[in-house]
Amino acid sequence: MRETKTYVAVAFNLPVEKFFWYILPSRFKRRLIKRGQRVVVPFGSRQILGFVVEESSRRPQGELKEVRDLFDRSSPFSETLFQLARWISDYYSCSLGQALHSIFPFSFPYKEEKPLFNPPSRDSLKREEVYLVKPGKNKFDFILSVIKDNKELQKQVIILVPEISLLATFQEKLERWKVKAGIFHSRLSPKQRYYCWLAMKKGEFDVAVGTRSLVFAPFPDIGSILIDEEESTDYKQKETPKYNVCQVAIKRGELENFPVYLVTNSPSLESWYRAKKKIYRTITFSNNEKEISSFKVVDLKKEKKENRIFSSILREEMKKALKRKLPVLLFVPRRGYANFLLCDDCGEVIRCPNCNTGLSFHIRGEMVCHLCGFREKAPKVCPFCGGRNLKKVGWGTQRVELETRRIFPEARVERFDFDTFKSSPHLIPSKIREEKIDILVGTQLLMKEEIISVSGVVAIILLDVLLNLPDFRATEHAFQLLNKISRSLNKNSSLIVQTYNPSHYVLSTKTCEDFYLKELEIRKTLRYPPFQRWIRFLLEGRVKSKVKDRSEEIAREIRKENIDFLGPSPCPFSRIKGKYRYHIILRDDGLSDLQQIIKRVNLGMMKGSVKVGVDVDPLFIV
């Protein structure tokens, strides 16, 4: 019998759409090659790993090289996880190889692992739904009930949290409930993560808790995915593929037929809107409709100038809390000592040579760029005019820390921000319990339920910074923060909000419903999400004119497609790390096939020295 040759298509973890075909030597043919399995192949001048995505007995065109070796003994991808990769690659516009790699990123050779039990066949008549769960104070009761229900059915539950520091509480609860649980996050070593992955594949756990990439857990029979604090922007992946975990979980639920629970008391406007339109079902616990008005607003316009960090009301409240031996939490929206250095003689600001934004002034006379991390010694005289009157403008955590120590010399003050890596946020509640801290000064990193709930006073030193960020979701995020703090507070504790704009609607709306309706109205008139879907092209390059030219070239290409878009325009941060940045934002009302358009536009545009990136449903437009 004549031997027929076999050919395989390989996809790489590279920003290259197409597959590459190789001859599969007959010595490998005895073993079945499954799609998703990795092979070692020659690629240009090197040898790399790639995922087998197709097989054929017909010879493809062109010169072909041979597969050098099989890396895995079997495919790590289930049928549905492979389909999920396909969907990610289509929806978020990345190569199939990149999508497969983000689902299975391990560099260990995989060999077949059989589950410890046979998963029952799926009940494919029933279509499962997405639920927006507003648990009030009953979050853990709800989660436990979901775990119990699934345990009875021999199904596994995935619990996702926005970031690592939130895992400790879950770990504690799961231990107390005596649940066989795996913990999965990026701080584990590659080996630890892979072992956890294998254990999940075998079905050794009933539950897994973890961050973003746990959404790809290889459990044999998933009963449901719970996403805690679904509104968190941490659920958006920053690297390609720039997926949103909630969307990926929902897609996976559709493919594997299980319900997804978005658990939060302050939903994202998008999710709230979908629940309102009955695309998601809503589960509300009875004590949830508490009003959000339980905070005191301080009008800084009416304060004496020297009281603009600590208003008289705040000082009083702090004294009261300290007397009751309850810790005070001061939220300062930016780190460093001062916001920037301004020359009083010529008006120039000291700027980052890579990013052109104002460098912030840190203690010990250091200038730091918060965009790229650039550091230099603060100048004694103005580098532009030689003037000696360099003024420190604005303030951050370090300045507030010093002021706090000055005004409350007896108190034990601690600062917590990106610069103080000494302690992690989950250690702070225990420090507070041991009565080691009186006043905590920190950034957003501190705004954790378990920290807020043990505080006597929480103060937002200047709300206006949050409201005026260059982001159309700024108000929504400020609302979610206020809502989260006031819900987490003990009933005898208080939230104080200092602002120059006390009549802002984020402060004056009385219920969540009112706020979301108001915000929705604004989004509608301005044609922002959720009324339109956005896709952003980000162009970066060292030569400004080239970036600009290319962005105009792409704009011309898009114009042919007859689709609405903004730009091209320089990004709000027009230069980062020495690279000029332009963007174009496609705005779609849901009728056109944007993904196809991106492909057509991208095809002709991949050439050249300007990097073009695509972000589908972007969260940050900076």
Partner DNA sequence: AGCACGCCGACT
Partner DNA sequence: GTCGGCGTGCTC
- Across the strands, what pairs with 226? 159, 261
Instruction: Answer for the pair 164, 212: CB distance below 8 angstroms, yes or no.
Output: no
> Which token pair is 373?
């991390």
Subset of residues 597 to 616 that bind DNA, contact rule: CB under 7 A: 607-609, 611
Q: Which stretch binds DNA (CB under 7 A): 35-43, 246-254, 280-288, 520-528?
A: 35-43
Q: How far is the CB of 607 from DNA (least distance, A)?
A: 5
16 binds DNA (CB under 7 A): yes
Structure letter (DSSP) for residue 219: -
Q: Which stretch binds DNA (CB under 7 A): 40-48, 123-131, 198-206, 409-417?
A: 40-48
Q: How far is the CB of 554 from DNA (least distance, A)?
A: 16
Q: Which stretch binds DNA (CB under 7 A): 60-68, 168-176, 267-275, 419-427?
A: 60-68
45 binds DNA (CB under 7 A): yes
H or E, element range at 193: helix 190-202
Write the binding mask 373 to 392 for DNA: x where contact by CB under 7 A, - elsewhere: --------------------
What is the 3 state secondary structure string of 310-353? CCHHHHHHHHHHHHCCCCEEEECCCCCCECEEEECCCCCECECC
In the complex with DNA, the residue whose CB is nearer, 228 or 540, is 540
Instruction: Answer for the pair 342, 380: CB distance below 8 angstroms, yes or no.
Output: no
278 binds DNA (CB under 7 A): no
In the complex with DNA, the residue whose CB is nearer, 42 or 386, is 42
In the complex with DNA, the residue whose CB is nearer, 254 or 540, is 540
Q: Which of 60, 119, 379, 570 binds DNA (CB under 7 A)?
A: 60
Q: How far is the CB of 99 from DNA (least distance, A)?
A: 14
Q: Which stretch binds DNA (CB under 7 A): 63-71, 163-171, 351-359, 523-531?
A: 63-71
CA neighbor of 322 nearest in space, from 451, 453, 455 = 455
CA 230/CA 161 separation, integer angstroms: 8
Q: How far is the CB of 42 from DNA (least distance, A)?
A: 5
Q: Which stretch binds DNA (CB under 7 A): 10-18, 352-360, 432-440, 523-531?
A: 10-18
Q: Which stretch binds DNA (CB under 7 A): 37-45, 252-260, 305-313, 390-398?
A: 37-45
In the complex with DNA, the residue whose CB is nearer, 66 or 175, is 66
86 binds DNA (CB under 7 A): no
In the complex with DNA, the residue whose CB is nearer, 62 or 409, is 62
In the complex with DNA, the residue whose CB is nearer, 64 or 349, is 64
Write the binding mask 142 to 161 for DNA: x where contact by CB under 7 A, - elsewhere: --------------------
620 binds DNA (CB under 7 A): no
43 binds DNA (CB under 7 A): yes
Q: How far is the CB of 547 from DNA (least distance, A)?
A: 11
Is 262 in a helix, a strand, or coil? strand
Q: How far is the CB of 106 from DNA (least distance, A)?
A: 17
Inter-residue long-range contacts of 272-280, CB under 8 Å, 24+ positions, other chains counted: 272/132, 272/516, 273/516, 273/520, 273/530, 274/130, 274/132, 274/530, 275/132, 279/130, 280/129, 280/130, 280/131, 280/132
Q: How far is the CB of 413 from DNA (least distance, A)?
A: 44
Q: How far is the CB of 41 from DNA (least distance, A)?
A: 7
Q: How far is the CB of 67 from DNA (least distance, A)?
A: 9
Helices 139-152 and 167-176: angle between axes, nearest 10 degrees: 50
Q: How far is the CB of 540 from DNA (least distance, A)?
A: 10
Neighbours of 490 (CB within 10 A): 12
44 binds DNA (CB under 7 A): yes
Q: Which of 5, 6, 15, 356 binds DNA (CB under 7 A)?
A: 15
In the complex with DNA, the residue whose CB is nearer, 239 or 593, is 239
Q: Which of 3, 63, 152, 410 binds DNA (CB under 7 A)?
A: 63
DSSP 586-609: EEE-S-S-HHHHHHHHHHTTS-SS
Map tokens 């939903």 to a residue.
267
Q: Which stretch binds DNA (CB under 7 A): 56-64, 113-121, 134-142, 407-415?
A: 56-64
28 binds DNA (CB under 7 A): no
- Name the amino acid, one letter, at 243: Y
Q: Site for DNA (CB under 7 A): how many residues? A: 23
Cβ neighbors of 189 (< 8 A, separation 6 or more) are none
Neighbours of 247 (CB within 10 A): 19
Is 58 in a helix, a strand, or coil? coil
20 binds DNA (CB under 7 A): yes
502 binds DNA (CB under 7 A): no
57 binds DNA (CB under 7 A): no
E strand map for 336-443: 340-343, 360-362, 366-368, 375-377, 390-393, 413-416, 439-442
Length of the chain: 622
CA 589/CA 562 separation, integer angstroms: 13
Spatial strand order of the sheet with 69-70 comes to: 65-66, 20-24, 6-11, 46-56, 38-43, 69-70
Write the binding mask 180 to 219 for DNA: x where contact by CB under 7 A, - elsewhere: ----------------------------------------
- Name the amino acid, one letter, at 37: Q
Inter-residue long-range contacts of 60-64, CB under 8 Å, 24+ positions, other chains counted: 60/7, 60/21, 62/21, 64/7, 64/21, 64/22, 64/23
Subset of residues 520 to 579 that bind DNA, contact rule: CB under 7 A: 542
582 binds DNA (CB under 7 A): no
Q: How far is the CB of 248 from DNA (least distance, A)?
A: 22
CA 619/CA 622 separation, integer angstroms: 9
Cβ neighbors of 24 (< 8 A, separation 6 or more) are 5, 6, 7, 8, 33, 55, 66, 67
In the complex with DNA, the residue whose CB is nearer, 572 or 604, is 604
E strand map for 69-221: 69-70, 130-134, 156-160, 181-184, 207-210
Q: How far is the CB of 65 from DNA (least distance, A)?
A: 3
Instruction: Answer for the pair 343, 385: CB distance below 8 angstroms, yes or no.
Output: yes
In the complex with DNA, the residue whose CB is nearer, 453 or 602, is 602
Query: Contact positions toward DNA, by CB under 7 A?
Result: 14-16, 18, 20-22, 41-46, 60, 62-65, 542, 607-609, 611
